[in-house]
A and B are shown apart, each in its own frame.
Chain A
């Protein structure tokens, strides 16, 4: 089992898009599988200090959403849905994003940010959570994920 490796690319910042990436990485570490997450584009929000605990969830255009698109597109709906989902998760005692990132780092999962996305969004390493290991490019990502199963979320 320990020769298996996972490399997860997290490119989106919805709650329903970021959590699967983090949970997959955590479950991999719990099963003795090496894991790393590469945060790029909007995934950077998941590891940015002042945004990671305020992620939204977008119901508009989502065929599985309980809210019709016209209502979901109204101002404030996205934030409302995000608040509701975060409250539900707190009631179920599921960890929030910063706690999950902490758990991942403690379990030995690699956490990397995309250099190109950082330049585009004008962020520096200080804006990111302290648990993030490094800012790397896509080529570096390929080197690090040698032999790994790559999952794009």
Chain B
């Protein structure tokens, strides 16, 4: 080995040792910082654990494990599968039974049973007659008979084996498509496209496909006159007065006025508007004035 190689090797070793030292230093630093934090964490953890022990959590968990053991041993997989399928109806029944008013009713009934020792005996037929004159007793009897009726119906169904718990074996997404008209056979919906004005397709690019001026600020009187000529409207001063008013109204309110607004507010009444612009005045005036088509049906 010559001196040069030896030098390079020593340099490399140096660098590695420095790196190791730096790592060791940072680890030391980390430990010194974390030391107090870790101690605090350990302290609070042990406090909580001893609290839990005192409350009996661990003994409880031990017993629960025993109970789970017994359940797992007692029931087979099939049972559990069946339980899984009917769990919805079980939960539903529990939910129905525990509705607050039902619980309250059950409470009332149990009150009576609690005080069963104090109820006087009903004496014979006359006693029954007298008891049944109480309105609450009458209502209670009606409820009991309803319950009997439902139980009877259920017994009938049970006898005929008609109790079918609804179980869905096929997820809804995989059920076959039973529609009579398949989607590809349906006629495509026609989009509502109004007939285009004569200015549609104008090469100047100022008008959109429906023939309206794209940007109202680009309007000039010449453009208005051209559009009017294409639409076959002979413009007079009266016509221009309406057009100017409509442009002003659009600029002031941001929305094109409809025929009713023009008829009541522009100074020309509805009769006059229809006389000046006989065919579809709302649309025609908007086309000539370079504003968007007015909306609404009044």
List residues of chain A with CB under 8 Å of any chain B CB: 1-2, 23, 26-27, 29-32, 94-95, 100, 102-103, 106-108
Known A107-B259, A108-B274, A108-B278; 15 more pairs at CB < 8 Å: A1-B280, A2-B279, A23-B297, A23-B298, A27-B297, A29-B274, A31-B283, A32-B278, A32-B279, A95-B298, A100-B298, A102-B270, A106-B271, A106-B273, A106-B274
Contact residues in A for B298 (Cβ distance below 8 Å): 23, 26, 94-95, 100
Q: Determine how close the nearest CB of chain B comes to the CB of A35; give it in whole angstroms.
A: 12
The reply to whether the CB of B263 lies closer than 8 angstroms to some CB of chain A is yes
20 CB contacts below 8 A, A to B, read A1-B195, A2-B279, A23-B297, A26-B297, A26-B298, A30-B259, A30-B283, A31-B280, A31-B283, A32-B278, A32-B279, A32-B280, A100-B298, A102-B270, A103-B259, A103-B260, A103-B263, A103-B270, A106-B270, A108-B274
Chain B 63-86 interface residues, beta-carbon cutoff 8 Å to A: none
Contact residues in B for A26 (Cβ distance below 8 Å): 297-298
A107 and B297: CB pair below 8 A? no
Contact residues in A for B283 (Cβ distance below 8 Å): 30-31
Contact residues in B for A100 (Cβ distance below 8 Å): 298
B side interface size, CB within 8 A:
17
Contact residues in A for B260 (Cβ distance below 8 Å): 95, 103
The reply to whether the CB of B281 lies closer than 8 angstroms to some CB of chain A is yes
Please measure, in the bound complex, the distance between the C-alpha atom of A100 and the C-alpha atom of B297, giving whole angstroms.
12
Q: Closest residue to A100 on the B side, CB-wise?
A: B298
The reply to whether the CB of B292 lies closer than 8 angstroms to some CB of chain A is no
The reply to whether the CB of B257 lies closer than 8 angstroms to some CB of chain A is no
Please measure, in the bound complex, the distance between the C-alpha atom of A141 and the C-alpha atom of B259, giving whole angstroms.
28
Q: Closest residue to B269 on the A side, CB-wise?
A: A106
List residues of chain B with CB under 8 Å of any chain A CB: 195, 259-260, 263, 269-271, 273-274, 278-283, 297-298
Q: Determine how close the nearest CB of chain B comes to the CB of A30; give it in whole angstroms.
A: 5
Contact residues in A for B278 (Cβ distance below 8 Å): 32, 108
Please measure, in the bound complex, the distance between the C-alpha atom of A95 and the C-alpha atom of B259, giving whole angstroms.
13
Contact residues in B for A23 (Cβ distance below 8 Å): 297-298
Q: Determine how close the nearest CB of chain A comes to the CB of B197; give it in whole angstroms.
A: 12
Q: Closest residue to A24 on the B side, CB-wise?
A: B297
Q: Determine how close the nearest CB of chain A comes to the CB of B281; give it in whole angstroms.
A: 7
Please measure, in the bound complex, the distance between the C-alpha atom of A29 and the C-alpha atom of B283, giving whole angstroms.
12
Please measure, in the bound complex, the distance between the C-alpha atom of A106 and the C-alpha atom of B276, giving whole angstroms.
12
Please measure, in the bound complex, the distance between the C-alpha atom of A36 and the C-alpha atom of B215, giving whole angstroms.
37
Contact residues in A for B282 (Cβ distance below 8 Å): 30
Contact residues in B for A30 (Cβ distance below 8 Å): 259, 280-283, 297
Contact residues in B for A2 (Cβ distance below 8 Å): 279
The 3 closest A-B pairs by CB, nearest first: A106-B270, A32-B280, A106-B271
Q: Closest residue to A94 on the B side, CB-wise?
A: B298
Contact residues in A for B279 (Cβ distance below 8 Å): 2, 32
Q: Determine how close the nearest CB of chain B comes to the CB of A86; give it in whole angstroms.
A: 15
Q: Closest residue to A92 on the B side, CB-wise?
A: B298
Please measure, in the bound complex, the distance between the C-alpha atom of A55 and the C-alpha atom of B196, giving whole angstroms.
40
Please measure, in the bound complex, the distance between the C-alpha atom of A108 and the C-alpha atom of B278, giving whole angstroms.
9
Please measure, in the bound complex, the distance between the C-alpha atom of A123 and the C-alpha atom of B259, giving whole angstroms.
33
Q: Determine how close the nearest CB of chain B comes to the CB of A124; give it in whole angstroms.
A: 26
Q: Closest residue to B282 on the A side, CB-wise?
A: A30
Please measure, in the bound complex, the distance between the C-alpha atom of A94 and the C-alpha atom of B274, giving whole angstroms.
20
Please measure, in the bound complex, the distance between the C-alpha atom of A61 and the C-alpha atom of B62, giving whole angstroms.
68
Please measure, in the bound complex, the distance between the C-alpha atom of A94 and the C-alpha atom of B279, giving whole angstroms.
23
Q: Determine how close the nearest CB of chain B comes to the CB of A117; give it in whole angstroms.
A: 27
Contact residues in B for A103 (Cβ distance below 8 Å): 259-260, 263, 270
Q: Determine how close the nearest CB of chain A comes to the CB of B285; give it in whole angstroms.
A: 11
Please measure, in the bound complex, the distance between the C-alpha atom of A95 and the C-alpha atom of B270, giving whole angstroms.
14
Contact residues in A for B297 (Cβ distance below 8 Å): 23, 26-27, 30
Contact residues in A for B274 (Cβ distance below 8 Å): 29, 106-108
Please measure, in the bound complex, the distance between the C-alpha atom of A120 and the C-alpha atom of B133, giving whole angstroms.
62
Please measure, in the bound complex, the distance between the C-alpha atom of A61 and the C-alpha atom of B113, giving whole angstroms.
50
A107 and B280: CB pair below 8 A? no
Q: Determine how close the nearest CB of chain A comes to the CB of B42; give it in whole angstroms.
A: 67
Contact residues in A for B280 (Cβ distance below 8 Å): 1, 30-32
